[in-house]
Amino acid sequence: MNNEIFKDNSKYFRNALVRTNFRDISKGVYEDNNYLYKFFSNLLSETNYELNEEELFITKNEVSL
């Protein structure tokens, strides 16, 4: 197992943890563990998912008012 992924993607990992636990039901935003799955899949299964931090941002399209 190569731990370089933590060094190279520490901000992505932190934000993926937030997205996994963040929910705002009043706005229709729910937890999403897909980002954390990609990170750990790259770490443990040596897959090559792109870890794009911008994907972690909640957009207006995701929010139902």
Is residue 12, in this structure, part of any structural domain at all?
yes
- Domain for residue 31, yes or no? yes
Asked if residue 26 belongs to a domain, the reply is: yes
CB 55 within 8 A of CB 49: no
Q: Say if 51 falls within a structural domain.
A: yes
The answer to the question of residue 61 being in a domain is: no
Tens digit of each residue's pLDDT (9 = 90 or more) over 16-44: 999 999 999 998 889 999 999 999 999 99
In a domain, 65, yes or no: no
pLDDT on residue 65: 58
**DSSP per residue over the chain, as a string?**
--THHHHHTHHHHHHHHHHHH--BGGGTB----HHHHHHHHHHHS-------GGGGSPPTTT---
Check pLDDT > 80 for residue 53: yes
Comparing 25 with 65, which gets the higher pLDDT?
A: 25
Could you tell me the residue range of the domain that residue 33 belongs to?
4-56
Based on the structure, what is the number of domains in the chain?
1
How does the average pLDDT of the chain come out, rounded?
Answer: 90
Q: Is 34 inside any structural domain?
A: yes
